[in-house]
Amino acid sequence: MKTYTLAELADQFKLTLENCHHPETVISGVGTLQNAGLGRVTFLENKSYLKYLQNTKASAVILSEQHKSNSNVPVLISKNPYVSYAKIAELFNHRSLPEAGIHSTAVIGKNCEIHESARIGAYCVVGDYCKIGPECCLYPHVTLYDEVILGNRVIIHSGAIIGSDGFGNAHTGTHWLKVPQLGRVVIGSDVEIGANTTIDRGAVEDTVIEDGVRLDNLIQVAHNVRIGAHTAIAACVAIAGSTKIGKYCLIGGATSISGHLEICDQVMIGGMSAVIKSIHQPGVYAGPPVAQKKMDWQKMTVRMRHLQDLFQRVENLEKKLRDENGHS
């Protein structure tokens, strides 16, 4: 395992080392504020963790200028502590990628173009006419149907299914007729797709995931969806067909988005939201219900069912008072 001194880290990542008597302190890994010990560097990003800063036993903390005075240990000052942490943590990353090249158990279809630097894990299945760009990484058990196009450096986690048929069914009056799904899935560069996420092929045109998008686990992307560049979507989000999501959006986990909507750039949607209308203004949106004590919730539910009555009763009261005042 490689090690680095605090001075080397500060120098390599252009951080300011302060509050430090021993810049030659050896760092051999990263840790959390609560549990990092000697030889570990940690970081402060989420303010709710500020309470752990004072007692940290780490050898150094990456943080922003404004928090340096709260630290009793050496600090590495960064304008973006989480980014600096990510880069330093990468130095100590011992995880193995799938083996370079195509694993002997992978099944590759006809007429594929797979860059020699791509990594295709065990039991991956790649359909016909797929393109897989340089430095892509498919973890084991990824399935690409036919005509899935990946740019460069795309990471796909195990169990993800890309290019399955969209949910196209025409009702004849007595039964469903399958509507052929003729589009492709086109994925840009620097995209990461989580475990067991599903992305359906387009019905006529393509389903498109633009550059730099991050999709977490167990997400459903229906046919003809377009997700704009650098948008990040947390786990268990369901996006229905033909919806277009803009660039630089942030969508919280377990949110559902109806079909045929447009969500503009730079929209942040809280977790567990239900989006049933297009959003044309950048901003922060939310709409989760809130779990509460069951009895309170039951009362509230009853009350909500009587809400219309209440409006009527208030109207009656207002009318009565107006009448009285008119009479008086």
Scanning 11-19, 51-59, 63-71, 294-302 for contacts with a copy of itself by CB under 8 A, the matching segment is: 294-302
Catalytic residue among 175, 223, 280, 327: 223
Q: Of residues 242-271, which lie at the interface with a copy of itself (CB under 8 A)?
A: 253-256, 258, 260, 269-271
Phi, psi for residue 260 in degrees, rounded to 5: 60, 25
Q: Of residues 21-50, which lie at the interface with a copy of itself (CB under 8 A)?
A: 29-32, 35, 46, 48
Scanning 3-11, 12-20, 62-70, 120-128 for contacts with a copy of itself by CB under 8 A, the matching segment is: 120-128
Q: State yes or no: is 223 an active-site residue.
A: yes
Spatial distance between the Cα atoms of 41 and 29, rounded to a whole number of angstroms: 7
Scanning 1-9, 15-23, 53-61, 153-161 for contacts with a copy of itself by CB under 8 A, the matching segment is: 153-161
For 227, what's the count of Cα atoms within 13 Å in the CB-facing half-sphere?
Answer: 34
Could you say whether residue 303 binds a copy of itself (CB under 8 A)?
A: yes
Q: How far is the CB of 134 from a copy of itself (least distance, A)?
A: 17
Nearer to a copy of itself, 23 or 159 (CB): 159
Spatial distance between the Cα atoms of 286 and 265, rounded to a whole number of angstroms: 16
Could you say whether residue 134 binds a copy of itself (CB under 8 A)?
A: no
Q: How far is the CB of 70 from a copy of itself (least distance, A)?
A: 20
Structure tokens at 239: 């996006």
Site string for a copy of itself, 209-248 (x = CB under 8 A): ---x-x-xxx-x-x-------x-x-xxx-x-x--------
Concatenated DSSP letters of 220-281: EE-TT-EE-TT-EE-TT-EE-TT-EE-TT-EE-TT-EE-TT-EE-SSEEE-TT-EE-S-B-S
Contacting residues for 167 by C-beta, under 8 A, at least 6 apart: 200, 222, 223, 241
Choosing from 74, 133, 151, 168, the residue that interacts with a copy of itself (CB under 8 A) is 168
For 226, what's the count of Cα atoms within 13 Å in the CB-facing half-sphere?
Answer: 13
Spatial distance between the Cα atoms of 289 and 232, rounded to a whole number of angstroms: 22
Q: 């997400």: which residue's tokens?
A: 219
Could you say whether residue 57 binds a copy of itself (CB under 8 A)?
A: no
The CB density around residue 104, as the number of other CB atoms within 10 Å, is: 7
Choosing from 47, 69, 291, 326, the residue that interacts with a copy of itself (CB under 8 A) is 291
Q: Which residues pair with 5 in a beta bridge?
A: 26
Nearer to a copy of itself, 14 or 305 (CB): 305
Q: Of residues 172-191, which lie at the interface with a copy of itself (CB under 8 A)?
A: 172-182, 190
Q: How far is the CB of 200 from a copy of itself (least distance, A)?
A: 7
Could you say whether residue 64 binds a copy of itself (CB under 8 A)?
A: no
186 three-state secondary structure: strand
Q: How far is the CB of 14 from a copy of itself (least distance, A)?
A: 13
Could you say whether residue 320 binds a copy of itself (CB under 8 A)?
A: yes
Q: At what angle do helices 307-327 and 294-305 cross, to 10 degrees?
A: 50
Choosing from 158, 188, 227, 249, the residue that interacts with a copy of itself (CB under 8 A) is 158
Annotated active-site positions, please?
223
